[in-house]
Structure 1
Amino acid sequence: MSTPAAAGAAANSNPYGLLAALHQGGVIAWTVFLILVVMSAASWYIMFTKLLEQQKIINQAKRVRAGFWSAPNLKDGAAKLEKNSAYRQIVDDGLIAQDQHTKLTDPVDQHDWMLSSLARSQAAVNSKLGTGLAFLATVGSTAPFIGLFGTVIGIYRALIKIGAAGQASIDAVAGPVGEALIMTALGLAVAVPAVLGYNWLIRRNKSVAESLSAFANDIHGYMMSGGAVRPLSAPAKLAAPAKPAPAPTKA
């Protein structure tokens, strides 16, 4: 004879919940569920790591604006930046390219050489920022179909039960149809955050890339002019060489 507590627990148990649906669905339902869980965990991990990486470069840009252009030259300015800073990488690559240009045996225009070198440096940073975003796009486009696969299997099982019972009773189809709906919801729950995160990170990457491009352009202008061309917001002590003396006036 069952106790009142056991009877109450049985009454409150949900025979059509997630665990019951997975138990009824068997290997296929568990496989779909585990794939979606792995995709969701990987998506959230990528979104958080990319967000932290982007924020780090944004903070680096603030430090560049605050102190880099106050240095007397580019080497001293680079020393003020973090060792692994994306902005320091651009400065270091520019200085290396400037030194390498003097060693070329086949003459190449210095402007083009520096421009391509700085472009490669920016591309390396942008490529690192884009790592993992393809996975988010893949999850956003495939997760609904993986959930739909579980839905198809659930409906198939419901049809088999209807055929075996000879009639479409609620008891025969509620479990499989509930399983089908749960798999659809799980697929959407995995896909929607991945798509939103992908679009958000792409927009932030574009903003970071624009900031890096502007900085590389300032570095290029400064190096090609010997310090005469510099950002308008740069302090005066990083300006170009002294102005020539005015011509003597005629008596």
Structure 2
Amino acid sequence: MEIAADYSMWALFARATLTVKLVMLVLVLASVWSWAVIVDKIVQYRRAQAEAARFDRSFWSGEPLDGLFDEIGTRPTGPSQRIFVAGMLEWRRSHRQDGALIPNAGARIDRGMDVAIAKESSRLQRGLTVLATVGSSAPFIGLFGTVWGIMNSFIEIAEAGNTSLAVVAPGISEALLATALGLLAAIPAVIFYNKLSADADRIASGYEAFADEFSTILSRQLDS
């Protein structure tokens, strides 16, 4: 009685050539790395949004800005606080000992907050290049493994001199597994890269809107 061939994923991996096995391992590691980045970014963005909401309530609570700044201190714990502290530090540095303001204080305050926003935007975007790289390269890496596997399968068929389906199917299945793993790594990476990039842009836009509102408040005090 003929024993049926095992076509489970582990069996296909075990029968593959060394090159195809290395390709599969690279794709599995890329997929794990992508999911680690995805989970980390989702957690980071949720924390950033929650912190922004809490700070927004404190900022618009009617408490004096100097009091809010003294409460936060010079070591803020969140992105919104860091942007606010950057503006307030420049605001206080722009006052002379006699109470008068140094010229162009408004421009320096804007630049200080712009630098803080740029740093926070960089933190939000950090790691997304991994998803972009995996999403664009994983299918081609998987295709390389498939082409290599099929080439070796044809060589074995030619040496055996048997072209029956029972001989051809195992080698082709092993080769196609590499493409499947490539797509399995690439599809989530592309989807979440687009989503997380949009989320990062939206959060950064919120920081810029806050900086504009804060700058407007300070400019009124400068004019008065």
Question: Larger Rg: 1 or 2?
Answer: 1
Select which of 149, 152, 158 maps to 1:154. Answer: 149
How far residue 167 of structure 1 moved from its aligned partner, in angstroms, is 3.9
Structure 2 counterpart of 1:89? 82
2:52–2:79 Cα contact (<8 Å) kept: no
Separation (CA, whole Å) in 2 of partners of 1:207 and 1:132: 17
Structure 2 counterpart of 1:65? 56
Structure 2 counterpart of 1:49? 40
2:204 aligned with 1:202, yes or no?
A: no
Q: Secondary structure at the match of 1:70?
A: coil
How far residue 227 of structure 1 moved from its aligned partner, in angstroms, is 8.2
Separation (CA, whole Å) in 1 of partners of 2:142 and 2:93: 55
Structure 1 counterpart of 2:206? 211
Quick one: which amino acid aligns to residue 91 of structure 1? Answer: F
Structure 2 counterpart of 1:74? 65
How far residue 209 of structure 1 moved from its aligned partner, in angstroms, is 0.9
* % identical aligned pairs: 31
**Mean CA deviation greater in 48-57 or 169-178:** 169-178
1:36–1:190 Cα contact (<8 Å) kept: yes
How far residue 130 of structure 1 moved from its aligned partner, in angstroms, is 0.5
How far residue 70 of structure 1 moved from its aligned partner, in angstroms, is 1.8
Structure 2 counterpart of 1:236? none
Structure 2 counterpart of 1:182? 177
1:89–1:121 Cα contact (<8 Å) kept: yes
Select which of 123, 128, 149 maps to 2:123. Answer: 128
5+ residue gaps, structure 1, are 1-6, 229-240, 242-251
Quick one: which amino acid aligns to residue 86 of structure 1? Answer: P
**Mean CA deviation greater in 207-216 or 29-38:** 29-38
- Could you report, residue by residue, the CA deviation over 1:177-201 in whole angstroms, capped at 9, with x for unpaired residues? 0011111111001100000010000
CA gap of 1:155–1:108, structure 2 versus 1, over 3 A, is: farther
Quick one: which amino acid aligns to residue 139 of structure 2? Answer: P
Structure 2 counterpart of 1:112? 107
Q: Secondary structure at the match of 1:16?
A: coil
- Could you report, residue by residue, the CA deviation over 1:60-118 in whole angstroms, capped at 9, with x for unpaired residues? 22213322222432232243699411111011111122233458xxx762222121111
CA gap of 1:185–1:151, structure 2 versus 1, over 3 A, is: same
**Mean CA deviation greater in 69-78 or 202-211:** 69-78
Quick one: which amino acid aligns to residue 85 of structure 1? Answer: G
More RCO (CA 8 Å, sep 6+): 2
1:68–1:80 Cα contact (<8 Å) kept: no
Separation (CA, whole Å) in 2 of partners of 1:73 and 1:14: 76
Count of matched residue pairs: 217
Quick one: which amino acid aligns to residue 193 of structure 1? Answer: P
How far residue 156 of structure 1 moved from its aligned partner, in angstroms, is 0.5
Separation (CA, whole Å) in 2 of partners of 1:20 and 1:108: 74
Separation (CA, whole Å) in 1 of partners of 2:21 and 2:146: 13
Separation (CA, whole Å) in 1 of partners of 2:39 and 2:76: 23
Separation (CA, whole Å) in 2 of partners of 1:63 and 1:175: 58
Separation (CA, whole Å) in 2 of partners of 1:160 and 1:171: 16
- Could you report, residue by residue, the CA deviation over 1:146-197 in whole angstroms, capped at 9, with x for unpaired residues? 1111101111012102211224221321111001111111100110000001
1:144–1:184 Cα contact (<8 Å) kept: yes
**Mean CA deviation greater in 25-34 or 144-153:** 25-34
